[in-house]
Structures are given as structure tokens and as C-alpha cells.
Amino acid sequence: MSITVNQSTRAIEPGERLIDAINRSGIDLPQVCYHPQLGPIQTCDTCMVEVDGKLVRACGTLAEDGMNVATSSARADAAQREAFDRILGNHLLYCTVCDNSNGNCTVHNTTKLLHVEHQEIPYKSKPYEVDMSNPFYRYDPDQCILCGRCVEACQNLQVNETLSIDWENAHPRVLWDGGAPIGESSCVSCGHCVTVCPCNALMEKSMLGEAGYFTGLPEPALNGMIDVVKGIEPELGYGAILQLSEVEAAMRESHIKRTKTVCTYCGVGCSFDIWTKDRHILKVEPAHGPANGVSTCIKGKFGWDYVNSPDRLTKPLIREGDSFREACWDEALTLVARRFAEIKAATGPDSLAFISSSKCTNEESYLMQKLARAVIGTNNMDNCSRYCQAPATTGLFRTVGYGGDSGSISDIEQAGLVLIIGSNTAESHPVLATRVKRSHKLRGQKLIVSDLRENEMARRADVFLHPRPGTDLFWLSAVTRYILDNGLANQAFIDKWVNGAEEYKQSLEPFTLELASQRCGLPIETLTKVAHMIVEADSVCVLWAMGVTQHTMGSDTSTAISNLLLATGNYMRPGTGAYPLRGHNNVQGASDHGAMPNYFPGYQKVDDPVIRAKFEKAWNVTLPPKPGLDNHLMIDAIHDGHLKSMYVFGEEMSLVDSNANYVADALSKLDFFVMQEIFFTETCRYADVILPGSPSLEKEGTFTSTERRIQRLYQAFEPLGESRPDWEIIQDIANRLGAGWKYEHPSEIYREIAPLTPLMAGVTYERLEGYKTLQWPVAEDGSDQPLLYTKQFKFPDGKANFYPLTWSEPTDQQDSEYDLHLNNGRLLEHFHEGNMTYRTEGIREKTPCTFVEVSPELAADRGIETGSWVQLTSRYGKMRAQAVITTRVTGRELYMPMNSVEEPVNRLTSSYTDKVTHTPAYKETSVQLKVLGEAGENPLPRTNSRFGHPTPQNGVEVERKWKRKDYREPGVQLVQIQTR
Ligand code: SF4
Ligand code: SF4
Ligand code: SF4
Ligand code: FES
């Protein structure tokens, strides 16, 4: 198919927007409100073109075979100018003193493109104040051109539904919750609106007064400059003003650095450019992220202050009695190497253990496990996937073969039905959640949520299941049995692709709907409805997280999910599959790269002699043949006296492991404990030597996200003080123990990993340059697999396996003494215990502390008010927190976010674990509650987004603008506008 544009023939793609076809052909067409990731908004009218003699908006028109398009005919040109003139009536062009004038301002660039010298419609100020009430960004109504990009992004991409424009008002503006101050609205500070704003109306506060050479002037002087700029416009025209500002913008290039990086918080894997000036972070600019496009959440967009925090460790510290003294690197590293060597000589290599960081890079995890195995000689090596994701990996290993998400976020987006189990996705994986919310809102995707709390996804769901704690396996198996028993399964798929159907069917015998209903507390009708929705959907993705895995049945429930997907044929196609959502930014990569007790990199078994021989040859050492201790067993081994020394980096073990008192007690018993960290964390208190490592912005390397996507991060800053990239520190320790490593850059480490690791065979830094990514497995020729199972499953016969399961009751159950169930998890604004996020002032302002959610029923029963101090006591410890009364929880179920260093929820959790993986059963905790005196303030301040009142609508609703009496389509009357 083709069209003619300005008399040249251009090929078009089916369903392509006309504006995209024109842009592809390289023709300059004004387009202020259009953003490819938002789709046509049609508010600005600057993209008017003539199609077969008729004026149309190029963004709102689909290209059709044979169209004759003129982008610069007299009528099109006049319409574009008229439309843009109206925009300038809403916007002061003071580019030279504007922090947004960095070569990428759409308003500036369109003024230039159209050679506008003077405007016909004079600028008119709007009768509203600038809104500075959000800690991270401001809205200046006087600069707002009412393009509505922000509204579209908030309503239909982020789907927080905070923004709208009051088109019927005499002076329309952008509204938060229909007219609240930003800081008191439902805005979750994700930054979508700021990112897509085409001018300076919405701007990051960190940019203000910082980006330009003249923009940091005191306000009166700045206003004076703006007046000067406006004063010379009638005489000189905009051409001269723009030229001046472009010279200044070009000068900014020398002090503004843009570095591509990958978010260091959750496993979604958002990537973006970070703009810096010296050590000042100007802004985070997402644009081309393969996982996120222009999307971010509050943490990735605004949560970076920790990098320059005065609390950063900048020198090695050595314990002296009860305190620490600063030391030089040589002294600290020599001490570490000497003590490791002494302990190894005295009590053997297995008396040492190593924990790698899921916050750090793949290369660093690889070196850590190489240090443990090749230099010390132990497989006592683990990472924090043990705390969350190991059961999901096991469930997938058992049934389909690979322990990773079976597709990409784009598959989740296109699924006909999404089933979310035990995941507070909107808060824990916010950008991934936006894709589900968007498909649900705009495309009719069905959504089923099973959770103990009515979280945001549950509120949006078509069906919300609230099973009794720890019973997901039961209802999942009952639904699968119902599907199989009633001939609703995908028998053709099972026959062709799945082994073990008969044995599996027999194992489902006890899982009747009646029993499931009794045990899980769910109506039979709801369960049958879920079954029918699943089989009727054209494709199903199941998302799950710690609400499933952190149980004694974590591996089995993950397996039950995969069994259900197999029974319904929901693998091997786009829009289907299993998606355990990885928590940390690089928890997937840490395991992939061998930071595990039983696997070399790429899940190659340490007890396989052929594999071991391969690594022995490559590393030129003899390697230990038996799997080592995982981090749960390490703690027991310290208590037993077998484990004497540990080296932990980037892991707040004493707070995030369950039964924190037991863990802390163990750490205090170590003979020699090395911590490598960026802050003096709680776990550091137990250390003998503390080595200052570097956060992601100060080093290079790769991270692997939840969708198995490997991405490069580049260095934005030099390491602070004497801190150093973690891979360099690990290498120095290895070399002091005689290793003789000579890596000069992380790329050299990857050059060693790839040939040893079939899963990553084709991974090279060149193939990952810039925003390029690979989703493992990566073949030697560099081809990767965004969808994991296309031709076969990862078993020798290419088939998947049904895996029979039995039921067992959760541990740490309630009784008359411990009568309440305590659930715990993340909060949108904070990551985990908050060591990083509490160091961003705006985040602290919105969520200053943890709290415990109490149901209205329980509150009434016990006389608890929001703000009441309560003491929670479990069988393992106690802690205090303030209560928040909310309908998110019901009855005798409590919820506590884990963002506290002072009162960590893990003082209450037990040492019970998943039977297979030893993942702690964090979610199986019973407590008693005691009210401590009078209620204080609400621990959630009024500025928290929970108090807002969203105003859902479908995008910007441009039709309302078109209905205004003063609106007429541009170009209907030819308007004379003076041009150069
Ligand atoms: S939630 Fe807030 S920051 Fe995010 S797009 Fe909406 S208004 Fe903007
Ligand atoms: S604030 Fe919103 S409507 Fe105003 S210019 Fe920016 S994106 Fe457009
Ligand atoms: S925390 Fe997760 S969702 Fe938020 S920006 Fe970072 S990677 Fe994206
Ligand atoms: S770009 Fe088409 S109407 Fe704005």
C-alpha cells in the first residue's frame, strides 16, 4: 500500500497513522500534542494536512492506500500556523532563561520549524498560581499550552486517573482530582505527565534554576530578563530570540551530561537517561526503555537522592571494640584477605559463606561466586532470591523447564485475561501494573485478582478473590480439576505437549470445589466463574509474587499455577504464560550468574562432574563438588558453630531475613564478618570490616529484569569519596588471596561468562549497547527469546510436565493467644526496608514511617483509631507501630509494610520455610495486638496519594474542547500571519 505525500510516493503499513507515515518519510510536520506512545490526542491542530483536498489532522487519520497528501499546501500551512498561533497565546516564549530549553522543547522547536516571527493572538496570562505543592514537580498554568499530553498519560498510560482539563471553563487548565492542590491529590508522583509535557509547564523541581546558565538568577532578576526578552520581540521577532537561546542551549551541552541507566529498585527493568550537572541530578528522562517506554514510578523517576546522601560510606571501616575506625583500603583489604585465609586454614573453606547483592550487577554476582568457589573453595553462596523468588523458579523448573518469566511485559499487555495472585502489582511493580491497567481500561482485558487485601489491582478487577491466608494452592488445584473434569481443558495441547496427565489428574482427587470452598472461604460460584473466565479467554497470563512464594507451600503453589496454565494451553503463544514478578532490579541476574549454592552461572549444576570440569579448566582450580549452604542454612550453621565467617554485599540481611532477632543473634556470633555497602546499615553493626561500595550510577555493568531482559548501565558519576565499584573490591580481595584476576572493565568479565554459560552464550557488551537489550536464552549468534517456549519446553523430549501436588496446612497458625493473621509487603513509595528511599526527602515526606493496617471491624472491636500505637507480639518477637484503619484489610487480618529500619516487621516472622527452597514463610505469621494508650497523628500524612479522589475519564476528552463556542477548526478561514 502506498500514499502520495507532497507528490512523492511513500509506502505505508496496514493500520498506520498518517502522521507516522509522514514522520517516517522524513518530512517536517508540526505536531505538538502527538506522542507516539500516547497515540493521537488531537488537541493542538498543528498537524493539519490536506488529504485529497480536505483538511484533516494527520495524527487522527489512518493512512489509506492511494491517499494524496499535501503537508505544506497553502491551506495546510495556514491551518498549521493558525493552530500554533493559538498555542503561543498560552505560552511565554522566554527560551533563553527557561530550564526546558535544552534542544528538545517541542514548543521552541515548532516555533522554529514554522519560522514564526510574531504572533497574531497575544499571550494572555491565566488567573491561576503556579502549583509547587508536590515535592518533585511543579505546574505553571501560565506556560501550559493545554495540549493534554499529561492528561492522556495520567488517564490512559499510567492509569492513575488524576488529571483532567476543564474544557468548559473560560480559562481551562490542567486539574488534579478535579481541582485539588497537587500535593493533596491522588497523584502518585510517577512522573509520566512531567516526562511527556512538551514544554516547561510541568517540570521536575530538580531542573529549576539549574539547567540553564541564566535560569538560576533570583526571581526579580529572572522576571526582568523575561521582560527584556518579551520587550525585544516586537522589534526583532522570534527568530533572533530563538537564535540567542539556541546558542545558550548549545552551551548547556558542556555542563549537562546524559547517561543511560537502568532503575535500581524493582525488577520491571525501566531504563532511562539520567541528566546530571556535576553531582547534581537534574532529571530522569525515560524515552526509549524497551520495558517502560516513557513510564516510571516515583522511585525510578524521583528516588535518587540516596546516591549523593551525606550518609554514604566513603572510607573503609574496621571494628575496634564496640565502634569502628576509618582505615585505608590497603589495610582493610589486607585484613580481610588475611582473616579469610586464616579461617579457611583453621576450619576449612566451608566455614566461610558469601551473599551476593540483588541490587548489584551481573558481573559482580559472577565475581562473588567465583571468589567463593574458585578462590575460597566453597559453594556456600546465595542471594536474596531465596527470600522471595526461589519457589517460583522451582515451580517452573518442575513443569516447563526454565525458571524465568515465559514471555515479556508486552505479552502481559496483550493477554485476554490476566490473573494476579499474591502480588500488590500497582505498588511493587508499578510500571508493569500500568500495562495491565491500560489494557483493562481501554482494551477490555479481563482481570482476576486473588489477594488478602483489596489493593488497587483488586479494586479494578472483574473478579476479586479473597481466600483464607495460605490457601491459594487449594483453590487453584480445585479450579484446574473442575476444568479437567468438565471437558474444558485444552486437550489437544495436553496431548501434544504435556507429560503425566493421568497421574496428575489422580493427584487432584482431593481438590473438589466443595472442599476448596470450605478451606479457602470462597463461594463455589466464584470458583466456577473463574474457571470459565480462564477457559473462555483467548490467552491468559498469570502474575504472582511474594503472596504466593513466601509460604511453606510456596514452591507447590507456584507449581499449581503452572499446572493450570498447562491444562488450559496457556503457554507457547504470545499473550500467555507464567510471570513470577521479580522483586529487586537484579534478583533474576544474581541467580542467573551463579550466586546460588547449587548452580554455576546459567543454572549449571555444581554436582555435575562434566560441568564442574568445564569451570575447573576455565578457572584453573579444583572446585568443591557438593552444593553449599543457602542463606537460611547459613544462619543455622552459625548458630551450630560450623560457619565462622561471612562476606555479604548490598544486602540488609539482619532486617529482611525472617525471624530477624534470630538472624541478628547469628550475625553477632561470627568470628569475622565483612560487609560491603553504600550506607552504614543495620547489618553493618555486626561487621568487623565495612567496605564502601558504589551504587549503580557510579559504575558500569548489566542488570537482568523480570522479563529476562539484560540491559547495560553506564557510569554517570565518579565513585563518591574513596568508595569503589563492587566488582573492583571483590577482585582486590581475590587477588590478595592469590587469584591473579586482571579484569579492567565489566565487559571483560562478561567475555568470560558468555562462553562458560550456554544461557548467555551470545551476550556481548556490543550487542547491549545503549538501549539495545537481549532476553535470555541468547544463542551464540546473538538471537534471543522474548517468548520462551515457541518450539518446545526445556526438557529433553521437548514436552512440559504436569506435577502432582498434595496439600498441607500453613504454619504458625492463629490460636486463642495469637489470634490475628499478619501479612506484610511493599509500599509504592519505598523499596523494602527503605535504606535507599528514605534518603529522598519527598518520599519521606509522603510516607515517613511504617504502620499497621487494621480493618474497621477489628478497630471497632478493640477500640483502635487511626494513629493508635499498638504493640504486635508474635511467637518470635514484638514491635510497635501506629494503626491505620482501612477497608483494604478485613476481619482479623492485619497488614504491615516492610519499610522500617527501627521497627522491622521481620522481628515477628518465623523461621519456617518453603520445604523445597527454604524461602521463609514470611506470610504465615500470627500475632496478638495490644493497644498502647492514646491515638497520635495519622502515620500517613495528608499529602499521601491515598487520600486523593481520582477523576477517571477516557483520556483528555478533546470533543469537549471542540464543543466550545470559541473553538473553530483552523484553516477554515485563511489567517494572515506574518512570517519570515
Ligand atoms: S499520577 Fe501524578 S505524576 Fe503520575 S501522571 Fe498522574 S499527575 Fe502525573
Ligand atoms: S501541563 Fe499538560 S496540558 Fe499543559 S503543556 Fe504540559 S502536557 Fe500539555
Ligand atoms: S521501581 Fe520498578 S517500576 Fe519503578 S521505575 Fe524502577 S524499575 Fe520501573
Ligand atoms: S499533533 Fe495532531 S492534533 Fe496535535
Distance of CA 481 to the CA centre of its chain: 35
Asked if residue 564 lies in contact with residue 534, where contact means CB atoms within 8 angstroms, the answer is: yes
- Pocket probe for ligand 4: among 51, 59, 107, the residue whose CB has the most ligand atoms within 8 Å is 59
Asked whether 297 lines ligand 1 (CB < 6 A), one says no
pLDDT in tens, 549-571: 999 999 999 999 999 999 999 99
Q: Could you count the other beta carbons within 10 Å of the beta carbon of residue 320?
A: 10
Ligand nearest to the CA of 148: 2
Which residue CA neighbors atom 2 of ligand 3 most closely?
266
Asked whether 199 lines ligand 2 (CB < 6 A), one says yes
Q: Grid coordinates in use for 427?
A: 505498588
Eight-state DSSP code of residue 719: P
- Pocket probe for ligand 3: among 189, 194, 412, 429, the residue whose CB has the most ligand atoms within 8 Å is 429
Asked whether 187 lines ligand 1 (CB < 6 A), one says yes
Asked whether 147 lines ligand 2 (CB < 6 A), one says yes
Distance of CA 427 to the CA centre of its chain: 9
Which residue CA neighbors atom 4 of ligand 1 most closely?
190
Residue 974: predicted pLDDT: 52
Q: Could you count the other beta carbons within 10 Å of the beta carbon of residue 805?
A: 23
List CB contacts of 727: < 8 A, sequence separation 6 or more. 361, 363, 364, 367, 699, 701, 743, 746, 749
The residues that bridge with 675 in the sheet, in sequence order, are 648, 690
Asked whether 197 lines ligand 1 (CB < 6 A), one says no
User: Relative to the CA of 44, which ligand 4 atom is closest?
Assistant: 4
Tell me how far the alpha carbon of residue 193 lies from the centroid of ligand 1, in angstroms: 6
Tell me how far the alpha carbon of residue 19 lies from the centroid of ligand 4, in angstroms: 9
Tell me how far the alpha carbon of residue 295 lies from the centroid of ligand 3, in angstroms: 9
Residue 973: predicted pLDDT: 61
Q: Grid coordinates in use for 482?
A: 473442575
Which residue CA neighbors atom 8 of ligand 2 most closely?
147
Pocket of ligand 3 (CB under 6 A): 263, 265-266, 268-270, 292, 296-297, 299-300, 429-431
CA-closest candidate to residue 451, choices 953, 923, 9, 952:
923
Q: Could you count the other beta carbons within 10 Å of the beta carbon of residue 845?
A: 14
Residue 975: predicted pLDDT: 46
Residue 405 is which amino acid? D
- Pocket probe for ligand 1: among 150, 177, 190, 295, the residue whose CB has the most ligand atoms within 8 Å is 190
User: Relative to the CA of 194, which ligand 1 atom is closest?
Assistant: 8
Tell me how far the alpha carbon of residue 263 lies from the centroid of ligand 3, in angstroms: 6
Asked whether 145 lines ligand 2 (CB < 6 A), one says yes
Residue 243: predicted pLDDT: 86
CB burial of residue 793 (10 Å; 0-12, 13-18, 19+):
buried
Tell me how far the alpha carbon of residue 46 lies from the centroid of ligand 4, in angstroms: 5
- Pocket probe for ligand 1: among 136, 163, 185, 296, the residue whose CB has the most ligand atoms within 8 Å is 163
Tell me how far the alpha carbon of residue 280 lies from the centroid of ligand 2, in angstroms: 26
Asked whether 149 lines ligand 2 (CB < 6 A), one says yes
Biggest distance spanned by C-alpha atoms of the chain: 92
Q: What share of the chain is helix, strand, coil (3-state, %, to 5)?
A: 35, 20, 45
3-state SS string over 659-679? CHHHHHHHHCCCCEEEEEECC
Tell me how far the alpha carbon of residue 231 lies from the centroid of ligand 2, in angstroms: 26
Which residue CA neighbors atom 3 of ligand 4 most closely?
42
Which residue CA neighbors atom 6 of ligand 1 most closely?
154
Backbone Cα Rg of the chain: 29
Residue 217: predicted pLDDT: 86
Tell me how far the alpha carbon of residue 606 lies from the centroid of ligand 4, in angstroms: 59
Contacts by 687-690, CB closer than 8 A, 24 or more apart: 687/317, 687/319, 688/318, 688/319, 688/339, 689/316, 689/317, 689/318, 689/319, 689/332, 689/335, 689/336, 690/313, 690/316, 690/317, 690/324
Ligand nearest to the CA of 190: 1
User: Relative to the CA of 40, which ligand 4 atom is closest?
Assistant: 2
Residue 907 is which amino acid? R
Which stretches of the chain score pLDDT less than 70?
973-980
CA-closest candidate to residue 673, choices 311, 314, 345, 319:
319
User: Relative to the CA of 265, which ligand 3 atom is closest?
Assistant: 1
Residue 191 Rama label (left phi>0; alpha psi -120 to 50; beta): left
Inter-axis angle of helices 472-485 and 554-567, nearest 10: 20
Tell me how far the alpha carbon of residue 43 lies from the centroid of ligand 2, in angstroms: 11
Residue 135: predicted pLDDT: 98
Asked whether 207 lines ligand 2 (CB < 6 A), one says no
This prediction has a pTM of 0.96
Tell me how far the alpha carbon of residue 701 lies from the centroid of ligand 4, in angstroms: 40
CA-closest candidate to residue 909, choices 930, 888, 878:
878
User: Relative to the CA of 147, which ligand 4 atom is closest?
Assistant: 4
- Pocket probe for ligand 1: among 188, 297, 946, the residue whose CB has the most ligand atoms within 8 Å is 188
- Pocket probe for ligand 3: among 136, 194, 268, the residue whose CB has the most ligand atoms within 8 Å is 268
Ligand nearest to the CA of 47: 4
Asked whether 951 lines ligand 1 (CB < 6 A), one says no
- Pocket probe for ligand 4: among 22, 57, 145, 961, the residue whose CB has the most ligand atoms within 8 Å is 57
Q: Residue 895 half-sphere exposure, CB side, CA atoms within 13 Å?
A: 22
Asked whether 944 lines ligand 1 (CB < 6 A), one says no
Ligand nearest to the CA of 60: 4
Ligand nearest to the CA of 110: 4
> Which backbone phi and psi does 821 adopt, to 5 degrees?
-95, 135
CA-closest candidate to residue 396, choices 598, 537, 582, 609:
582
Ligand nearest to the CA of 951: 1
- Pocket probe for ligand 3: among 262, 265, 586, the residue whose CB has the most ligand atoms within 8 Å is 265
User: Relative to the CA of 163, which ligand 1 atom is closest?
Assistant: 7
Ligand nearest to the CA of 79: 4
CA-closest candidate to residue 627, choices 917, 919, 365:
917
Residue 977: predicted pLDDT: 47
- Using alpha carbons, list the distances in angstroms from residue 483 to 225, 502, 564, 570, 805: 72, 14, 9, 13, 17
Residue 443: predicted pLDDT: 96
- Pocket probe for ligand 1: among 176, 182, 192, 296, the residue whose CB has the most ligand atoms within 8 Å is 192
CA distance 450 to 544: 10
Which residue CA neighbors atom 2 of ligand 2 most closely?
150
